[in-house]
Structure 1
């Protein structure tokens, strides 16, 4: 039976394991165990319990977008024509490879997205011909990111 997040409470050992894996998801359990003075089996069991509880939701590879030629990062606030347009708009935005994050929000926008493109020209094309061309989109506001000075995950 899987633990739910409500039934599994993390302790200091779980926090230490999470912090170590967040820094390097490929770190062997044996190294973590030695560092925490427990057995590798204990680390394995703890990780599996946190997976089953939904605390650990997979492992990810971090890709440097700039090294792949994606030099422009921007955020676009989208106002939809009607509230009921949300599911169709999200489906169409999801089909655009440049859209890397999307949020359903309160405030002046219905949807807030993050996109990456190789250049300003590419951004202009995506914005005009792909995002603003979506029937459900009433208007957009674009904010170009100049720098990302902080990037981190939530600490356990």
Structure 2
């Protein structure tokens, strides 16, 4: 469970993942040890991860999204196999038309073909729907969670 302080720490680190804990502590009016301890706890609990993100298109790489339909296996077992593939950086179970959502990044189109072939060989994968990204406007943002998932909006966020 996260509380308001945890959510405000996440929001601060979302804007700048390298921000000093002393700065966050001063903003939230808590000790640096409180911020450090809460960040460590949230990382251990897989609530958050601090990473450097880039736009793969600007680096000449090809990002893609795969929607996968599963047959004769459980989606969880297929997902566990998919996370072992090097180019895959995100795997989620879905509710809706498809069973699994995958994000991956390849160096070029031949690598995309190899990745899709590798995914098709995973036991239980029945269909793979491939979406190549041509422009990336926004990615990996928690800002969309404001007011959702237990977050309480502050008056500054709502304009009230």
Instruction: Using structure 2 for the length normalisation, give the TM-score.
Output: 0.69
The 3-state SS of whatever aligns with 2:13 is helix
Greater radius of gyration (CA): 1
Report 1:131-142 matches (<5 A): 131-142=119-130
Q: Which residue of 2 aligns with 1:120?
A: 109
CA drift of 1:140 comes to 1.0
1:20 is aligned to 2:21: no
- What is the root-mean-square deviation in Å for CA atoms of aligned residues? 3.1
Contact 1:132 1:139 in 2 (8 A): yes
Aligned pair count reads 143
1:153 is aligned to 2:142: yes
1:31 is aligned to 2:23: yes
Contact 1:51 1:57 in 2 (8 A): no
Q: Deviations over 1:96-139 (max 9, x none)?
A: 011111111111211111111011111011112x0111231111
Alignment partner for residue 4 of structure 2, among 7, 10, 16?
Answer: 10
**Structure 1 residue runs without a partner (length 5+):** none
**Structure 2 residue runs without a partner (length 5+):** 152-160
The change in CA–CA distance for 1:126 and 1:48 in structure 2 (over 3 A counts) is same
| Cα distance in structure 1, aligned partners of 2:46 and 2:36 | 8
Alignment partner for residue 54 of structure 2, among 64, 85, 89?
Answer: 64
Q: Which residue of 1 aligns with 2:155?
A: none
Report 1:52-91 matches (<5 A): 52=41, 57-64=47-54, 66=56, 71-82=61-72, 84-91=73-80
